[in-house]
């Protein structure tokens, strides 16, 4: 058996980035939520906003800390495992990554400290301003990361010199064709993910009759946001799909599970893809619907993967199934949210215990959808790192052997399996503690270390 | 005419690396010393002395890494895969140290484990960084634009010796920091440990100064040919003077001097390495200019850096100011 350093490096990348992405997915949504709560507190001075905000700030602290720790690993992956990519594309992508790093650190070093520990040290407008800046900063961070990713998917604004990408037009590089869609689709996904967590936590508190006013408010706010964002996300996803059809048709063919070009194309609901035989087995199809959804006409052409040579096709199964998981979750979410609104209109929301339990069950679904969507887009763009221009196989560090990567991957697996469950347990502990009448105790403020979010929250958790 | 930004980026990268080495160096050194402190009260004091600052310090590692990637992508693409395992070990050790910092405050049976992880993580991370430096000075197998050696080329006497030397170096920095931040018995202990480390560090500096020119003829040529030897003689002389001053400061009642002296020794070593390798960024293969990214790339990121870096530095300075003075076991952090 030979170990393939390319495949193993991809697995390692997937492992470290998949864990990492969960934290921004939560942190970005939470930071904006906290900014809204702080604004409400500033303008109404009602204690409930203060309590809810304080509760989520403690959880944000842990989440942010873990995001930083797992984020330090990431830039080094470009060098250890993907050195040929770094050499070829470094001139274009590295400043985008560096901007992300600068912004994240700038944020961590300044406003986050005020937000986490400054409640009693600064006036409430300043505290609100810090919350706003943290929310803005997390969005800026994702702006740069997604610009990097989008450029790799739909590159432009460069010139090729001896097989290396050189920047020509920075505006074109940053605002490349897939970037606006990817950015909006991701940020909306992060907001939805967080809102479902907030709703689930609210439901949990309510079922235990803990901090019931706060819990109800969390559920109400989440439902109001979600009834707008979930349908909006479906629209954005559709737009993103059309963009993919235009710029990455092979990825779209894989998502659709379409090997043969068809006009009109049916919509394949389910099937078992067979890449070797280039056919979809046991396909369940709805005639015309593929064309309708993707070209918005009854008779649109959808290209099949057979239009591309074998060595330029992505594997079908991962994007095909991951996409269906993501879309399936979207419909479940829509159903849950619509149901919640109906119950609320009828005034039955607070005593429908079964619905509160449902909210708890669906709380983690956003994370699953984020990972599924990410799998769809990242496996779907194979076999390229820079789409159509630089192959994944030509991006990996030439010195690596399969055994090297097996060893490093095993280390990452072990350490992450210790670190993440422990961190998640901390956050669960903070949730169990629930919203508190008292904000942070003074001695913690005294230790108000701008750079110490994780530990203080951890301590807050263990004190209880 | 495009402005040559390579000197600017060389200076910025040198600053980032030196800042990281001194600042995370001292808190890693304190982490190493932590393992040798006997009483729980002293351990807490030691921990408190770096609690407010260590993770801000660690972030400079990312600045160093990203700085290398953004300004000299070719160097990044050659050096980082060559030290694949030292980088892996360093990153995971740093993760462990960071996590241990948080989790040791959970009372209970696991405290001993996290104590060990804290000290062990610091030792392993330091050693790995020394190995990276040693492998860097030793040079890499390069063909074209790629590293073509194996992932175990760093296993050799020179890199491993540098790894060991850096442990003493960081411990000296850590001891200097403890002298500054603690009092009484603990401070006295830090002075004694510092003295031992100083001797080991000076032996290491002497050893490396002889060993490095033996690795490459060009380096020997640079240092020992006339008139270079005259121009460069201040480097060893100043280093020796700082060492004597450091010895004196550790023996007497100076509070701040031991830390400053340790930084001085690091600065002189840094200068020594820079003189040996200049103008190479991938030693013996590519110069800073050959490995540089395009002027457009360097300019694009420089704009943001010049705007954000001063704010970050001012903020950092302010937080050190806030936590100035002696720490104690109870007051302050925990």
pLDDT grade, residue A431 (50/70/90)?
Answer: confident
Q: In the block, which residue shows the tokens 């199934």?
A: A321
Lowest mean pLDDT of A82-86, A433-437, B177-181, B302-306, name the range. A433-437
Q: HEC string of B31-93?
A: HHHHCCCCCHHHHHHHHHHHCCCHHHHHHHHHHHHHHHHHHCHHHHHHHHHHCHHHHHHHHHH
Which chain B positions have a beta carbon within 8 Å of A79's beta carbon?
Answer: 65, 69, 76-77, 79-81, 87
Q: In the block, which residue shows the tokens 């392993």?
A: B124
pLDDT in tens, A193-247: 999 999 999 999 998 888 888 899 899 999 999 999 999 999 999 899 888 988 9
Gyration radius of chain B over CA positions: 20
Which chain A positions have a beta carbon within 8 Å of B106's beta carbon?
Answer: 458, 462
ipTM confidence: 0.88
Q: d(Cα A424, Cα A89) in Å, to the nearest integer?
A: 36
- Which range of residues forms the domain containing residue A69? 15-176+416-464
The pLDDT of residue A441 is 44
Q: Percent of chain B, pLDDT > 70?
A: 95
Q: What CATH number is given to the structural domain containing B216?
A: 1.20.1630.10
B52:A452 CB<8 A: yes
Residue A282 lies in a domain: no
pTM: 0.88
CB within 8 Å of chain A, chain B residues 83-102: 84-85, 87-88, 91-92, 94-96, 98-99, 101-102
Sign of CA dihedral A309, A311, A313, A316: positive
Residue B61 lies in a domain: yes
Task: Choose, out of B50, B67, B70, the residue to mutate when testing the contact with A (most A CBs < 10 Å).
Answer: B70
Lowest mean pLDDT of A9-23, A365-379, B32-46, B197-211, name the range. B32-46
The pLDDT of residue B255 is 87
CB atoms within 10 A of CB B184: 10
The tokens for A85 are 């990519």
pLDDT greater than 70 at residue A445? no
Helix (H, G, I), strand (E, B) or coil at A267: strand
Question: Exposed/middle/buried for A271, CB within 10 Å: 0-12, 13-18, 19+?
Answer: middle
pLDDT greater than 70 at residue B326? yes
Residue A151 · residue A92 · CB < 8 Å: yes
Q: Average pLDDT in the A43-66 region?
A: 86
CB atoms within 10 A of CB B38: 8
pLDDT grade, residue A438 (50/70/90)?
Answer: low
CB within 8 Å of chain B, chain A residues 59-88: 65, 68-69, 71-73, 75-76, 78-81, 83-84, 86-87
The separation between CA B271 and the C-alpha centre of its own chain, rounded to angstroms, equals: 13
Which chain A positions have a beta carbon within 8 Å of B300's beta carbon?
Answer: 95, 167, 170
Which chain B positions have a beta carbon within 8 Å of A106's beta carbon?
Answer: 308, 311-312
A73:B150 CB<8 A: no
CB within 8 Å of chain B, chain A residues 113-172: 166-168, 170
- Helix, strand, coil in percent for chain A, rounding step 5: 70, 5, 20
CB within 8 Å of chain B, chain A residues 418-447: 418-419, 422, 446-447
Contacts of B267 (CB under 8 A, 6+ apart): B18
Nearest chain B residue to A96 by CA distance is B301
Q: d(Cα B46, Cα B67) in Å, to the nearest integer?
A: 32
The tokens for B193 are 């440990």
Nearest chain A residue to B69 by CA distance is A94
Quote the Cα angle for A370-A374-A379, to 5°.
155
pLDDT grade, residue B40 (50/70/90)?
Answer: confident
Q: d(Cα A249, Cα A251) in Å, to the nearest integer?
A: 5
A399:B94 CB<8 A: no
Burial B137-158 (b: 16+ CB within 10 A, else e): bbbbebeebbbebebebbeeeb
Counting the structural domains of chain A, the total is 1
Nearest chain A residue to B293 by CA distance is A91
Write the Ramachandran bin of B3: left for phi over 0, alpha for psi from -120 to 50, otherwise beta: beta
Q: d(Cα A117, Cα A452) in Å, to the nearest integer?
A: 9
Determine the straight-line distance between the first and last CA of chain A, rounded to whole angstroms.
53
DSSP A157-170: SEEEETTEEEES-H
pLDDT in tens, B127-165: 999 999 999 999 899 998 999 989 999 999 999 999 999
Helix (H, G, I), strand (E, B) or coil at A161: strand
pLDDT greater than 90 at residue B217? no
Q: Average pLDDT in the B256-260 region?
A: 91
The pLDDT of residue B2 is 66
The shortest CB-CB distance from B74 to any of A87, A446, A449 is to A87
Residue B333 lies in a domain: no
B62:A101 CB<8 A: yes
pLDDT greater than 80 at residue A447? no
Q: Between A440 and A339, whose confidence is greater?
A: A339
Residue A94 lies in a domain: yes
Residue B328 lies in a domain: no
Residue B68 lies in a domain: yes
pLDDT grade, residue B177 (50/70/90)?
Answer: very high
The pLDDT of residue B109 is 66
B69:A94 CB<8 A: yes
Q: d(Cα A55, Cα A213) in Å, to the nearest integer?
A: 14
Residue A293 lies in a domain: no
Residue A4 lies in a domain: no
B55:A452 CB<8 A: yes
pLDDT greater than 90 at residue A413? yes
Helix (H, G, I), strand (E, B) or coil at A167: strand
Mean residue pLDDT of chain A comes to 87
pLDDT in tens, B76-114: 999 999 999 999 999 999 888 887 776 676 656 677 788
Q: d(Cα A15, Cα A10) in Å, to the nearest integer?
A: 8
Q: d(Cα A271, Cα A257) in Å, to the nearest integer?
A: 8
Residue A362 · residue A333 · CB < 8 Å: yes
Which chain A positions have a beta carbon within 8 Å of B101's beta carbon?
Answer: 455
Which chain B positions have a beta carbon within 8 Å of A102's beta carbon?
Answer: 304-305, 308-309
**Residues forming beta bridges with residue A390, ordered by sequence position:** A386
Which chain B positions have a beta carbon within 8 Å of A443's beta carbon?
Answer: none
The pLDDT of residue B90 is 94
Residue A217 lies in a domain: no
Residue A369 · residue A193 · CB < 8 Å: yes
Residue A318 lies in a domain: no
- Helix, strand, coil in percent for chain B, rounding step 5: 75, 5, 20
Helix (H, G, I), strand (E, B) or coil at B204: helix
Residue A64 lies in a domain: yes
DSSP A276-320: TTTEEEEEEEETTHHHHHHHSSTT--B--GGGS-GGGPPPSHHHH
- Which range of residues forms the domain containing residue B256? 6-322
Helix (H) or strand (E) holding A219: helix A212-247
Q: Percent of chain A, pLDDT > 90?
A: 50
Q: Average pLDDT in the A80-97 region?
A: 93
Q: d(Cα B257, Cα B245) in Å, to the nearest integer?
A: 8
Residue B175 · residue B257 · CB < 8 Å: no
Q: Average pLDDT in the A135-152 region?
A: 92
Pairing of strands A267-274, A279-286: antiparallel
pLDDT grade, residue A112 (50/70/90)?
Answer: confident
Residue B334 lies in a domain: no
A398:B312 CB<8 A: no
pLDDT grade, residue A169 (50/70/90)?
Answer: very high
Smallest CA–CA separation between B262 and chain A, in Å?
25
* Nearest-10 Cα torsion for A453, A455, A457, A459: -160
The pLDDT of residue B38 is 84
Q: Percent of chain B, pLDDT > 90?
A: 55
| C-alpha closest to that of A389 among A95, A107, A215, A161 | A161
A90:B85 CB<8 A: no
The shortest CB-CB distance from A109 to any of B52, B79, B316 is to B316
Counting the structural domains of chain B, the total is 1
The pLDDT of residue B332 is 43
Backbone angles phi, psi at B287, to 5 degrees: -85, 170
CB within 8 Å of chain A, chain B residues 213-232: none
The shortest CB-CB distance from A86 to any of B51, B69, B300 is to B69
pLDDT in tens, B221-242: 888 888 989 989 999 999 999 9
Residue A278 lies in a domain: no
Mean residue pLDDT of chain B comes to 88
Task: Choose, out of A70, A82, A98, A416, the residue to mutate when testing the contact with B (most B CBs < 10 Å).
Answer: A98
**Residues forming beta bridges with residue B287, ordered by sequence position:** B280
The pLDDT of residue A109 is 65
Helix (H) or strand (E) holding A118: none
Q: d(Cα B311, Cα B317) in Å, to the nearest integer?
A: 10
The pLDDT of residue B22 is 94
CB within 8 Å of chain B, chain A residues 87-106: 87, 90-92, 94-95, 97-99, 101-103, 105-106
């Amino acid at each position: 058996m030979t170990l393939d350093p390319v495949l193993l490096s991809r697995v390692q990348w997937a492992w470290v980035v998949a864990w990492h992405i969960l934290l921004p997915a939560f942190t970005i949504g939470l930071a904006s939520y906290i900014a809204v709560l702080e604004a409400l507190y500033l303008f109404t001075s009602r204690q409930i906003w203060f309590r809810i905000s304080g509760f989520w700030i403690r959880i944000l602290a842990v989440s942010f800390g873990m995001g930083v720790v797992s984020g330090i690993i990431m830039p080094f992956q470009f060098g250890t495992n993907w050195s040929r990519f770094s050499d070829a594309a470094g001139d274009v992508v590295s400043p985008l990554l560096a901007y992300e790093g600068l912004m994240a650190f700038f944020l961590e070093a300044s406003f986050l400290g005020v937000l986490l520990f400054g409640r009693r040290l600064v006036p409430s407008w300043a505290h609100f301003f810090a919350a706003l800046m943290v929310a803005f900063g997390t969005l800026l961070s994702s702006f740069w990361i997604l610009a990097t990713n989008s450029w790799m998917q739909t590159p432009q604004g460069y010139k090729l010199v001896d097989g290396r990408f050189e920047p020509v037009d920075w505006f074109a590089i940053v605002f490349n064709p897939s970037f606006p869609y990817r950015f909006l689709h991701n940020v909306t996904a992060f907001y939805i993910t967080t809102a479902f967590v907030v709703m689930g936590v609210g439901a949990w508190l309510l079922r235990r009759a803990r901090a019931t006013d706060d819990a109800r408010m969390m559920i109400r706010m989440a439902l109001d946001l979600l009834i707008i964002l979930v349908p909006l996300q479906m629209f954005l996803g559709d737009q993103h799909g059309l963009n993919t059809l235009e710029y990455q048709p092979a990825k779209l063919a894989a998502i659709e599970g379409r090997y043969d070009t068809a006009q009109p194309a049916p919509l394949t609901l389910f099937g078992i893809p067979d890449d070797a035989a280039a056919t979809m087995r046991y396909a369940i199809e709805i005639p015309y619907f593929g064309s309708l959804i993707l070209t918005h006409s009854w008779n649109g052409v959808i290209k099949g993967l057979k239009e591309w040579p074998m060595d330029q096709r992505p594997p079908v199964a991962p994007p095909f199934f991951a996409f269906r998981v993501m879309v399936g979750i979207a419909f479940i979410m829509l159903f849950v949210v619509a149901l919640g609104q109906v119950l609320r209109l009828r005034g039955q929301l607070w005593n429908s215990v079964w619905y509160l339990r449902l909210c708890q069950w669906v709380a983690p679904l956003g994370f699953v959808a984020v990972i599924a969507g990410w799998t769809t887009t990242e496996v779907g763009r194979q076999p390229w790192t820079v789409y159509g221009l630089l192959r994944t196989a030509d991006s990996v560090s030439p010195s690596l052997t399969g055994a090297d990567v097996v060893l490093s991957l095993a280390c990452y697996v072990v350490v992450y399996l210790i670190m993440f469950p422990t961190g998640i347990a901390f956050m669960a502990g903070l949730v169990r503690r629930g919203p508190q009448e008292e904000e942070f105790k003074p001695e913690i403020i005294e230790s108000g270390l701008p750079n110490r979010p994780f530990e203080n929250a951890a301590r807050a958790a263990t004190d209880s | 005419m495009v402005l040559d930004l390579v000197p600017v980026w060389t200076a910025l990268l040198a600053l980032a690396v030196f800042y990281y080495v001194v600042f995370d160096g001292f808190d890693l050194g304190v982490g190493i010393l932590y393992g040798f402190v006997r009483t729980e009260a002293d351990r807490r004091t030691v921990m408190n002395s770096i609690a407010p600052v260590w993770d801000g310090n660690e972030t400079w590692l990312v600045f160093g890494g990203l700085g290398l990637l953004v300004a000299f992508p070719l160097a990044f693409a050659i050096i980082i895969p060559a030290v694949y395992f030292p980088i892996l070990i360093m990153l995971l050790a740093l993760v462990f140290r960071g996590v241990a910092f948080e989790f040791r405050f959970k009372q209970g049976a696991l405290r001993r484990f996290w104590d060990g992880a804290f000290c062990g993580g610091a030792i392993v991370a330091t050693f790995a960084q020394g190995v990276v430096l040693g492998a860097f000075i030793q040079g890499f197998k390069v063909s074209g634009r790629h590293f073509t050696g194996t992932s175990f080329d760093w296993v050799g006497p020179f890199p491993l010796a540098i790894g060991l030397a850096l442990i003493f170096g960081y411990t000296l920095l850590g001891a200097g920091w403890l002298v500054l931040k603690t009092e009484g018995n603990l401070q006295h202990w830090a002075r004694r440990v510092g003295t031992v480390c100083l001797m080991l560090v000076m032996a290491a500096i002497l050893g490396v100064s002889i060993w490095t020119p033996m690795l490459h003829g060009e380096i020997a040529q640079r240092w020992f040919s006339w008139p270079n030897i005259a121009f460069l003689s201040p480097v060893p002389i100043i280093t020796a003077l700082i060492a004597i001053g450091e010895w004196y400061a550790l023996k007497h009642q100076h509070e701040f001097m031991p830390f400053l002296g340790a930084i001085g020794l690091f600065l002189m070593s840094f200068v020594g390495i820079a003189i040996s390798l200049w103008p190479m960024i991938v030693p013996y293969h590519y110069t800073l200019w050959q490995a540089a990214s395009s002027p457009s790339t360097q300019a694009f990121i420089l704009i943001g850096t010049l705007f954000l870096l001063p704010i970050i530095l001012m903020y950092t300075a302010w937080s050190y100011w806030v936590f100035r003075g002696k720490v104690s076991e109870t007051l302050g952090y925990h």
